[in-house]
Amino acid sequence: MLPYLWMLTGAAAFTVMSELAHALNHGCHWTVVALARTSFAFVFTFTLAKSRGIPLVFWKPGTLWLRSIFGSISLMCTFYAFKNLPASDVVVITNMFPIWVAILSWPILGERPSFEVWPAVVCSVAGAALINQGEQGAAVAGADRIGGLITAGISSVLSAGVVIGLNLLQRIPSQTIVVHFSGVATCFCLALMTTAGTQQEHFTSLAPTTWLLLIALGLSASVGQIFLTKAFAAGPASRVAVVALSQVVFCYVFELCFLGRAFQWNSLAGMMLIIVPTAWMLLRGEVSRAARVPPGPADVME
């Protein structure tokens, strides 16, 4: 039971991170929130790798750069979605990546998905549509909400591409991959902040409470990473990955109990239409077969 308890702890920590990412958008620009996530992860994973003598790489192989770039774009899409959507909705949609893994493995790896994959795709897309319809009249404007749904979906697809591409990086330690990704993602966030003109005014105008929440976000992400790594290292990957979906439940319960969010039947039905097929795909091992490696801590760090 220990790996599952570790994963539940990691999912709870990532729930805190997700809820803070959404809440912090009221006090600072979303790129600052994303930077807190990536920079803390980089410092933590870099320090851990160096203390354990794990070799780090930078320029080669080129596939590692593709993984880090795709992962960085996925992360930024996720944190932009946190700006426009409740955290629970973002978490549900980004966790659709096992379904996209099964589909993308066809054009990328030449592995045709089984017939059962297509009903899962239809259910998940219908679930995303229901989630959107379930929030009519919400505080977030319709255009912003649709933009958040689209970017969360893009993040999910990019995460699937990352998982598939990891079969080309099997000889590189997973922590080495995570350090590279975290460093590249931090650079992406800094570059985006410079382009958007947010780097100076948003740092100098942050309230002390906002700084504390940013630190808490970075720490919760690091804690989640620790327990996620321990869980995947000690337990069966497919079943541990299913337990990771508990983050969706944690987010819904948190928003119901502490934020007073009233979930309409559309949102709840949409969540079930996405999570049930995703869990089924994980249990069937579709992700492991497509990626040729178990879905682990280096696969989806966004």
Phi and psi based region of residue 129 (left: phi greater than 0; alpha: psi -120 to 50; beta: remaining)? alpha
Query: Taking residues 97-120, what's their average pLDDT?
Result: 80
Asked whether residue 6 is assigned to any structural domain, the reply reads yes
Asked whether residue 300 is assigned to any structural domain, the reply reads no
Using pLDDT thresholds of 50, 70 and 90, give the confidence band for residue 139: very low
Structural domain boundaries, residue 197: 2-291
Cα separation, 172 vs 55, whole angstroms: 9
Asked whether residue 103 is assigned to any structural domain, the reply reads yes
Asked whether residue 267 is assigned to any structural domain, the reply reads yes
The predicted-structure confidence for 34-54, as pLDDT tens digits, reads as follows 999 999 889 988 998 889 888
Cα separation, 237 vs 232, whole angstroms: 6
Asked whether residue 299 is assigned to any structural domain, the reply reads no
Please state the separation of Cα 181 from the chain's center in Å: 13
Q: Two tokens at 134?
A: 């379930």
Number of domains in the chain: 1
Say if CB 33 and CB 24 are below 8 A apart: yes
pTM score, whole prediction: 0.85
The predicted-structure confidence for 17-27, as pLDDT tens digits, reads as follows 999 999 998 88
Asked whether residue 298 is assigned to any structural domain, the reply reads no
Query: Taking residues 212-226, what's their average pLDDT?
Result: 89
* Among candidate residues 3, 44, 52, the one with its CA nearest the CA of residue 232: 3
* Highest-scoring range by mean pLDDT, 123-137, 167-181, 255-269: 255-269
H or E segment and range at residue 143: helix 142-165
Find where tokens 């940013």 sit.
Answer: 214
Give the torsion through C-alpha atoms of 222, 237, 78, 173, to 10 deg.
60
In a 10 Å sphere around its CB, with 0-12 CB exposed, 13-18 middle and 19+ buried, how is residue 125 labelled?
middle
Asked whether residue 297 is assigned to any structural domain, the reply reads no
Asked whether residue 296 is assigned to any structural domain, the reply reads no
DSSP string, 23-79: HGGGTS-HHHHHHHHHHHHHHHHHHHHHHTT----SS--HHHHHHHHHHHHHHHHHH
